[in-house]
Amino acid sequence: MVFTIKNYKSVISLELAKSFLRIEGGQDDSFVSFLISSAESYAEDKLGMTIGTKDYIMQCVTDSCYITIPRTNLTKVEYVKVDGIESEFELYCNIVKIQEGVKSKNVEIAFSCNNENVSDFLKTTLLRHVYFLYENRGEFNFKPIEEIYNVFMNGNYKI
């Protein structure tokens, strides 16, 4: 399964991150934007949810007529293509049902997820993640990053 992100809108703006990091000027804008994207991607994988707004294209090969879109906050499926041809589909929560009876299909699904209403605590956690990455460039110790997300894993805080 391959995912490509077509469009992306973060819940953390570049201006907010730069303010949090106390950065003036634009010399690090590209780097800080990269760190924001990295932090949100990590959090999505760790927490199992989409953060921000993203338009995806998912490609897979399957012999099933049921395909699970492994993302929460699914807002719409734009199209489904089977072997390069746009096809009819049915949507059940995050499961796409395509035509039955065809063996080993190349499937492409374009869909959108939206979760802009995350808690301030999660936004602060993302900013702490960006701060850690910014201040510790070149280090490969991810234990402190894992620890800042553990508070969500035990269910004590609202995502």
Which residue would you say has higher pLDDT here, 151 or 37?
A: 37
Q: Are 34 and 130 in contact (CB under 8 A)?
A: no
pLDDT greater than 80 at residue 159: no
Over range 121-133, report the average pLDDT. Answer: 94
The model's pTM is 0.76
pLDDT in tens, 47-64: 888 898 999 999 999 888
Q: Where are the domains of the chain?
A: 12-51+119-152, 53-115
Q: Does domain 12-51+119-152 have CATH number 1.10.3230?
A: yes
Over range 8-32, report the average pLDDT. Answer: 95
- Cβ neighbours for 117, distance < 8 A, ≥ 6 positions apart: none
pLDDT greater than 90 at residue 72: no
